[in-house]
Structure 1
Amino acid sequence: MNLGELQPYKEMVALSVLLQVYYLELESSELRAREDIVELAWSSLERFNITKLGTAESVERLVDGLLWSGSGGDFEAFYYDDLSRQMAVQKYKYFTVDEDATRTSWEESGKTVYRLSEYAMELIFMSHEIIEEFQISIKLLEIQMHIKHGRVTRAMQDVGELISRVRKMTQQQQEYRNALRRNPKHIFSEYGVMRHQRLEEIHLQFDEERKHFDNIHRSLARLANDEKDVIDFNELRQLSERVELSRRVHDELAEVVLSIFEAETNLRLNFPELFWGAGGFNFRTNVWEEWVKADGLPDADSLELLVSGLFAPNQDFIYPLAWAWEEQEVGFLPEDALDEPDEAGEEESISYTPRSIPWPEVAELWRPVFIGLADHGSFTFSAEAFTEEQQHKWSLTPDAIDLWVQFFHTEITVQEQDPDNKQGGAADECQTLIQRLLGANPDLEVLRGKVLRTTIQGNNSPSISWPGLEMSPYTITIIER
């Protein structure tokens, strides 16, 4: 059909009309004659702010195009039938005559009342809007409508869907209740505030659902009496049982929701101090300054137990706790030497030797990195970039691995000459490594004055993993200014 300026919007407006007729049908409203559907089309144009694009002729043409095909019969469309493995013709309508309502309407006004066909109903159910925003009360109205028309199988399917949906809602409410018990400040979360604002609405919804269930049970009773010769009694009994199960899961949902409101009210009235926003627990203040520095620790092993939670619990992490302790290794005299006092009877003082980085080994491992950087402008840490022997040495030299982390934390400028006063912070050891490499490899002099930046490849890139080492895929690059 040609709708003039409305042509680009015809599918959207048509679906809106079908949806409005669907709601009227659920509410048992008989305002579904052709003239009423024309008014619904105009209301859709007004809601979409495109009223000026419509004319009386185009809107009526749209409605007629929904009610009848061009030939006056069914619509036809080709589709591929998987069973017969050939193209077939599907015949369908969007509207059919509602005979019960039309019978009454003809007596009063002589108008034909329409309702949605099964195909149109399926189109409504497949629309994203209905799937996401379908309220429980509307679903109950639909079940009641199916029972009223004797569609027991369809009502059974809808009751099953309703039970699944209500159980999912109950699970979500229970998760919120558990979170509220762990931390009362969840009341002020977006979900908690929204629930509190909808308190009255939720109570009204529960009352409305109880009325719907009463109507459904009455409809089932009438169906059993009036259509007992047509309806399968076993199917009707199963439907009654499913409806009763649906009522019970609704009651469970109502019980959980009301218990949450009770808990929220109790917390607000009796425990207001939980929401005062007092300062949280701080390790530096509450543990280190107020406890450890003031009272000390019972023994040296307690320190590892105290701070181990601040580091990764898994030893194969990029920076495990064991490496942190290795940084504190010291060289003391042998224990047997401590047991032998000198001739003067004075204990020999214990010399302290701090652990240092084995620069020759570290520089040898990093030399291929900077050679690749000078030749290609970048270098990526990967298994393919090293021989098996080099991989083994990398896994045994955590100091070389640590430097990747330090390069990653900041941009490093390769200085023009070996500085007397090096950059502070994390760049100190990076500059030491660079100057050692440049001093031993004249080919690397091209890097002087360059800015180096280290990044980690995207989330889809696998980590580097070989025996004794697991590490992120770092890439060091020369940045052009």
Structure 2
Amino acid sequence: MNWSDFGERNKRLNPLWSLGAGMNLGELQPYKEMIALSVLLQVYYLELESNERRAREDLVELTWISLERFNIAKFGTAESVERMVDGLLWSGNGGDFEAFYYDDAARQMAVQKYKYFTVDEDATRSSWEETGKTVYRLSEYAMELIFMSHEIIDEFQISIKLLEIQMHIKHGRVTRAMQDVNELISRVRKMIQQQQEYRNALRRNPKHMFSEYGTARHERLEEIHQQFAEERKHFDNIHRSLARLANDEKDVIDFNELRQLSERVELSRRVHDELAGVVLSIFETETNLRLNYPELFWGAAGFNFRTNVWEEWVKAEGLPDGDSLETLVSGLFTPNQDFIYPLAWAWEEQDVGFLPEEYLDEPEEAMGEEPAVYIPKSIPWPEVKSLWYPVFAELAVQGTFTFAAESFSEEEQKRWAETPDAVDLWIQFFHADIIVQEHAADADSGADEPQKLIRQLMADYPGLESLRGKRLRTSIRKIPTVSVSWPGLEMSPYTITIVEN
């Protein structure tokens, strides 16, 4: 086990484990963790909107909103709600929260200090002038809890993520903004891939338009257009915030980091534009199919196994167990069990019972002619050996050979492309280690084609005798390289090597 990151994992989870701990909330006690998380989330969204209603009195009001939402307001009292808020703002001794974690570098237990809320100095400065109240914001530890909960949501709204990035830039948190931009780019690219898969499925079968996913997309058309408009506005605000940050904090912010963040934001905008293009092209395709090809959606008359059984029943609902599949398809591929004749008789009936009419009128002498002898296709060993000899010759000298363009002349490349039997032997060598026989007499026992090739090469070329007893192994070259691509042939760059026993 890798213990080097255990302490960091411990420190990330401590605020989660301690959330709501040590509070005595009376009848609200069973729900304290859920209520605490709901308050953190509400403050999180208030921060995204730059709403400064985050004083202690506001947190009390947010707690009551959560209780009403969860239908447990009847269990709450003014005292228990205020105790909940105070338990989020401060620990029991009025200071930071504390928890143990294992410091791997020091190899001993250490104490971690953290808070869920810190003072929002910018907002508090203006608030004191008007109301004299302290405004709070989420600490980095509380933000980490929010981000951890986001990670389990696949379809986190893009517009909310853009607001997060804008908030980080506003507060000068360039590194956090960079991480969020990279995460957003990955998420949008995943959505592009999903949309493209749906578009390809729609082209193969227009009936996917009426699937649950296609219907939901059609109903959300106006919502999607509105989301794209909001995203353009958010990107404009992000660029303005970046320009303002570069202007106002030029002595504090690393300009190189700011430039990289600006480039990533621009890349994110282009990826969003690509997503918008894919989505709108799908709607265009759906509209075109509905208007110009309505016959594609007409139901086919009759009943067939593929549509009515396999696609609409088996693929959609599945089968109760594995034996059900055998019961389903056995009638398609096996004879009925109560058939009067054995299966061999049935095949014989097919062979001799349906002769063409022209053969029925011929005399028995003509029908008694010997059938043509079938000669199976064999490997053209002379041509194959001439192509493989340079491979084994270099293997005997160098200990290795790689099938690459630079290893053969243009004439040899043409011959390899015209001899698929020679190419196929590379794949057979790749499947397992090949041990060259110690003695020539033993080679007769090798019935597979690689052993036959080696036996014939060593018989024709005595210079290859040094390979006897060697173990040959074939692999695909691991270093980045282009696959072998010649006219009429494309394959991976195989390397055959002599390995020590």
TM-score by length of 1: 0.60
Q: CA deviation at 1:130?
A: 6.5
Does the 8 Å contact 2:60/2:81 carry over to 1?
yes
2:190 corresponds to: 168
State the match for 2:67 in structure 1.
Answer: 45
Post-superposition offset of 1:259: 0.5
**2:447 — aligned with what?**
none
Correspondence 1:233 to 2:237 = no
User: What corresponds to 1:329 in structure 2?
Assistant: 348
Per-residue CA deviations over 1:202-254 (Å, capped at 9, x if unaligned) read: 11100000000000000010111111111111111100000000000000000
How many angstroms apart in 2 are the aligned matches of 1:165 and 1:21?
A: 25
CA contact (8 A) 1:125 1:131 kept: no
1:138 equivalent in alignment to 2:157:
no
Tell me the distance in 2 between the aligned counterparts of 1:324 and 1:98.
Answer: 85
Structure-2 separation of matches of 1:273 and 1:339: 51
Q: What is the alpha-carbon distance in structure 2 between the residues aligned to residue 192 and residue 170 of structure 1?
A: 15
Alpha-carbon deviation of 1:329? 3.0
2:242 to 220, 224, 229: 220
1:61 maps to 83
**How far apart, CA to CA, are the structure 2 residues paired with 1:325 and 1:204?**
69
Aligned-partner Cα distance in 2 for 1:187–1:116:
44
Range with bigger deviation, 242-251 or 102-111: 102-111
Q: Aligned to 2:110, what secondary structure does the other structure show? A: strand
The 1:158/1:128 distance shift into structure 2, 3 A limit, reads: closer
Question: What are the ranges of 5 or more consecutive residues in structure 2 without an aligned counterpart?
Answer: 1-22, 307-331, 335-341, 354-359, 369-501
Change in Cα spacing, 1:164 to 1:341, as seen in structure 2 (3 Å) is closer
* Percent of aligned pairs with the same amino acid: 86
- Structure 2 contact 150–156 (Cα < 8 Å) conserved: no
Q: Contact (CA 8 Å) 1:169, 1:253: kept in 2 or not?
A: yes
| Match in the other structure for 1:354 | none
**Change beyond 3 A, Cα 1:249–1:341:** closer
Question: Residue 60 of structure 1: CA displacement?
Answer: 0.6
Instruction: Letter of the 1:53 partner, please give it.
Output: F
Cα deviation for residue 83 of structure 1 reads 2.9
- 1:266 maps to 2:288: yes
Q: How does 1:324-403 map to 2 (within 5 A)?
A: 327-329=346-348
Report the Cα distance in structure 2 between the residues aligned to 1:326 and 1:77, rounded to whole angstroms.
82
Q: Does 1:22 align with 2:61?
A: no
Aligned AA (1:116): L
- In structure 2, relative to structure 1, the CA distance for the partners of 1:332 and 1:187 (3 Å cut) is closer
* Residue identity opposite 1:44 in structure 2: S
Distance 2:87 2:277 in 1: 49
Deviations 1:304-342 (A, max 9, x none): xxxxxx769xxxxxxxxxx97785135979xxxx99968
- Aligned partners of 2:200 and 2:221: how far apart in 1? 19
Larger radius of gyration: 1
Distance in 1, Cα, partners of 2:177 & 2:204: 41
Structure 1 counterpart SS, 2:347 = coil
Residues 67 and 283 (structure 1), Cα distance of their counterparts in 2 relative to 1, 3 Å cut? closer
**Letter of the structure 2 residue corresponding to residue 17 of structure 1:** V
One of 93, 107, 112 as aligned partner of 1:90: 112
1:77 aligns with 2:99: yes
Query: Residue 174 of structure 1 contacts residue 256 of structure 1 at CA under 8 Å; is this kept in 2?
Result: yes
**1:177 corresponds to 2:199:** yes
Q: Distance in 2 between matches of 1:53 and 1:217?
A: 47
**Secondary structure of 1:279's match?**
coil
- Alpha-carbon distance in 2 for matches of 1:283, 1:154: 55
The whole-number CA distance in structure 2 between the counterparts of 1:124 and 1:43 is 19
- 1:205 and 2:227 aligned: yes
Q: Which residue, 243, 261, 269 being the options, matches 2:265? A: 243
CA contact (8 A) 2:115 2:141 kept: yes
Distance change in 2, residues 1:5/1:311 (3 Å): same
Partners in 2 of 1:24 and 1:188 — Cα distance? 39
Letter in 1 for 2:25: L
Deviations 1:170-203 (A, max 9, x none): 0000000011111111111000010011111111
User: Does the CA-based 8 Å contact 1:186-1:192 persist in structure 2?
Assistant: yes
* Structure 2 CA distance for partners of 1:113 and 1:283, relative to 1, 3 Å: closer
Letter in 2 for 1:201: E
TM-score, length of structure 2 as denominator length = 0.58
- 8 Å CA contact retained: 1:74, 1:91: yes
Would you say how many aligned residue pairs link Structure 1 and Structure 2?
A: 307
1:282 deviates by: 4.5
Letter matched to residue 179 of structure 2? Q
Amino acid at match of 2:238: I
Aligned residues of 1:3 and 1:58 also touching (Cα < 8 A): yes
